[in-house]
Amino acid sequence: MPKIAIFCGANPGKDPIILEQATRLVDLLAAQNFDLIYGGGDFGLMGLIADRFLEHGQTVIGIRPRRLIEQENAHKGISEMIVVEDMFERKAKLMELADAFISLPGGIGTLDEMVEVFTHIKIGYYQKFCGALNTNNYYEGLSIMLDRMVNDHFLSAKDRQILCLASSPEKLVAHLLAY
């Protein structure tokens, strides 16, 4: 089964459309037999996507630093929990195991993971899909920044296309499957 790494918030956020689109995205991915690799939490968007993949009978693998297991609730009902020492090891393991990457709205950790994956793909360590669900233009500021990088010749127009920003789960999954 292909494995999708999903980066997302440990909080649910305040926009119910984000929750609706995240749920729809999981339904579409599970219908394509994707298994989930994620941060291992049982709360916020992380808990929502893990529970939804499990409801579909898919494998769910959490990768969580020991410190976060001690400080925050780790999901106890997932298929497997890989315990790592720190966030660097977590990101490396996520990139190693996943066949593709999707970011949902989230905080600075989500942005960090997405940008690190983008960077690794850009410099040629991986040839994997990298996309983000741009619910209600959540990632519009990032899009503007990437365009500025292209305009100022710090990023090529070709490399700008590595990150697929899609406004709906259906469009994002269509791009993933076409990849």
First to last CA, the chain: 16
pLDDT value at residue 144 = 98
Closest CA to 173 of 61, 57, 39, 27: 27
Question: Is 92 within 8 Å of 5 (Cβ atoms)?
Answer: no
pLDDT value at residue 178 = 96
Map out the domains of the chain as residue ranges.
Answer: 3-178
| β-strand partners of 81 | 62
pLDDT value at residue 67 = 87
Q: Which residues of the chain have pLDDT under 50?
A: none
Question: Is 18 within 8 Å of 137 (Cβ atoms)?
Answer: no
pLDDT value at residue 167 = 96
pLDDT value at residue 71 = 75
Q: Exposed e or buried b for every residue in 121-137, given b needs 16+ CB within 10 A?
A: bbeeebebbbbbbbbee
Cα separation, 139 vs 30, in Å, equals: 24
Topology adopted by domain 3-178: Rossmann fold (3.40.50)
pLDDT value at residue 74 = 87
Cα separation, 120 vs 126, in Å, equals: 6
Its pTM stands at 0.95
Q: How many helices (H) and strands (E) does the chain have?
A: 8, 7
